[in-house]
Amino acid sequence: MGEQAPSVFDSGPGVVIRPDWDTVRASVFSRPIPGDAVARMAALWRSSGGGEDPRLRRVEEVLCERFRTDVTRYSGVFEPSFSLDGRGWHRVRFSYAFPDFRDAPAPVCETVLAAARPFGIPLTSHVAHLLKWTFQPFLEQPIVGLAYDDRDSWTFKLYYQVGFRFQDQAVQWLARLIPWGSLRWIVGGGLLHLIGVDLGPSGIRCVKLYFVHQDPEVARLAGPLLPRGLADFLIRQGVFRLSSFLTIHRLRAPDDPGVRRVSEVDFPLTENGLHDVPLFGESGMLRGVLSGPAPPPGCSERLPRLLEPVGLDRTLLRVVRLTLSTTHDPKLNLYFHVVEKAPDD
C-alpha cells in the first residue's frame, strides 16, 4: 500500500466522538437554539467541578466565539453530553463539529488548536500533527471534543468523519496505521463512519473506530449488544429495527486483540421514533440500563427527553442519542442539544 505511514500510536494522542446531525433536526427545530448555548453549558460546567480551572475558561471562550457564527448557519455543531459510570455522573463533556471545513479549513484548524493550547505544548503538538490527516480526500470534517473530570483527569478528543462514498480509500489508509490483522475482524460489517483518537495528559489513550449499520433487528441485538431490558422496552414501543445504529471498536495498542469486540453501541432517538418517550423513572427507557439511573444531579426530566438543569434560566437539554457500553464496566452517555425553554413549559 505504498510507503509505510507512522503508526497513530507513535504520533501522540487524538480523539473520539461522532454526532449524527441529520437524525435529530426535526426535534431540534421545534425549539430555538440559543446563540449563547456554549456559554450556558459552560455555566453548568463551572458548577460541576471545573470552575477553578482556567483551561476550561479558555476553551469556553474559543467555542463561544466560533458558535456565534456557526449557530446562524448550522444545527447540531455543538453537542454536550453527560456520562454515567460506576463513579456516578460526569457532566463536563462536549463535541464540536465543523461542517464547513472543506470550504474554510484554516479557521477550523486554528479553532481546534486554540482549544488544545490551554492543555499544554505536548498536546497541542500532537493535535497539530493529527490535523494534517484531516486533509485526506475521504475525510469530510474533524470533530473536536473534551471529557473533563478534574485538573489531572481529562481526555482531549479529535475525530475524523469519513465520507460514505470513499469507504475503500478510508480502509486502505487506515490499514497503513493499524495492522490489517486487527482490522480484518471488523471491517465489512458496516460502513466506517468515524475514526477517533483519545489524548490524555500522558499521551494517547486509545483509537476508536465507528461503524454505522442500517436497520439491524432489535431482537438480534438483545444480549450481546443491547441490555435485554432496553431491547424489551424498544419492542414494546414498536421499534423492531434501529436506524443509524453504531458499533464502536477500541484499540489501546496497534495489535490490541480487543479491537475485535464491540466495546460500545450508539443510536439516535428521534430517527427511531423515540421522540416522546421518557428516559427516567419507572416507565422510562433507561430503567433497564444500569438499574434505571435517576436524572443527572441538578437536572429534572420535565418532558420526555427534555432535561431542565437547575440554575440555567430558560434552558432545556434535549437528549438526541445515547451510547451504551457492552463490556463488564457499565457506562452510559447521553448526548443532547441546548434549546430555549418555551413559555408554556
The pLDDT tens digits for 102-148 are 999 999 999 999 999 999 999 999 999 999 999 999 999 999 999 99
For the chain, where are the E strands, in sequence order?
A: 78-85, 88-90, 93-97, 139-150, 153-162, 191-200, 203-213, 245-251, 264-268, 299-303, 306-309, 315-325, 332-340
Residue 2 pLDDT > 50: no
Label residues 311-341 b or e (16+ Cβ within 10 Å = b).
Answer: ebeebbbbbbbbbbbbeeebbbbbbbbbbbb
- Ramachandran angles phi, psi of 85, nearest 5°: -140, -165
Distances (CA, A) of 149 to 83, 93, 125, 254: 11, 9, 23, 27
Q: Which of 294, 286, 304 is nearest to 229 (CA)?
A: 286
Enter the pTM of the model.
0.88
For the chain, count helices (H), then strands (E): 10, 13
Condensed to tens digits (0 to 9), the pLDDT of residues 183-237 reads: 877 877 789 999 999 999 888 899 999 999 989 999 999 998 999 999 999 999 9
pLDDT digits (tens, 9 = 90+) for 47-88: 876 667 999 999 999 999 999 999 999 989 999 999 999 888
Residue with cell 451510547: 323
The pLDDT score that the predictor gives to residue 5 is 38
The Cα-based distances of 148 to 56, 67, 91, 277, 342 in angstroms read: 9, 20, 8, 29, 30
